[in-house]
């Protein structure tokens, strides 16, 4: 258990609403990202479009993180996507 989020390294779509407003991916305070609503909309559209085409998605290897302190993220995320189970 971290001091802010339970299992912070896990990507979980079922996090409680009480946790959702406490992340700082879009910054904080006076310089909070002005593009956050657009970024959220784009993310929703992409996830819905992918799941509509390939509802069955599984890991196909290990995720690889980048080394950047500035922009934290993954360089590789091997997946297998299927239309049917
Ligand atoms: C997933 C996508 C995005 C992430 C993770 C993100 C993240 C951030 C973060 C962390 C900041 C704060 C930087 C700071 O405090 O110095 C920021 C600021 C900003 N973002 Fe985004 N951003 C995203 C998408 C966008 C988009 C789509 C736009 C424009 C269409 C945008 C425009 C801006 C602008 C103009 C600022 C500066 C706001 C200010 O300083 O008052 N961002 N963003």
Domain range summary for the chain, segments of one domain joined by +? 1-53, 56-85
pLDDT for the residue numbered 2: 60
DSSP category for residue 7: S
pLDDT at 34 over 60: yes
Spacing, Cα 25 to ligand 1 middle (Å): 9
Name the residue at shortest CA distance from atom 4 of ligand 1. Answer: 26
How does pLDDT run across 8-26, given as a tens digit for each residue?
A: 888 888 998 888 888 888 9
Measured between alpha carbons, how far is 82 from 56 in angstroms, rounded to an integer?
5
Closest atom of ligand 1 to CA, residue 32: 12
pLDDT at 29 over 70: yes
Percent of the chain with pLDDT over 90: 64
Report residue 46's pLDDT band, with 50, 70 and 90 as the boundaries: very high
Would you give the distance in Å from CA 10 to the centre of its chain?
9
If 0-12 CB within 10 Å is exposed, 13-18 middle and 19+ buried, where does residue 2 land? Answer: exposed
State which of 31, 32, 33, 38 you would mutate to test the pocket of ligand 1, scoring each by most atoms of that ligand within 8 A of its C-beta.
33
């Amino acid at each position: 258990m971290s001091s802010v989020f339970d299992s912070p390294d896990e990507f979980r779509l079922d996090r409680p609403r009480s946790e959702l407003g406490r992340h700082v991916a879009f910054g904080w305070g006076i310089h909070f990202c002005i593009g956050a609503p657009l970024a959220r909309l784009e993310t929703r559209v992409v996830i819905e479009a992918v799941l509509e085409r390939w509802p069955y998605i599984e890991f196909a290897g290990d995720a690889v993180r980048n080394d950047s302190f500035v922009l934290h993220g993954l360089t590789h995320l091997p997946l297998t996507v299927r239309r049917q189970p």
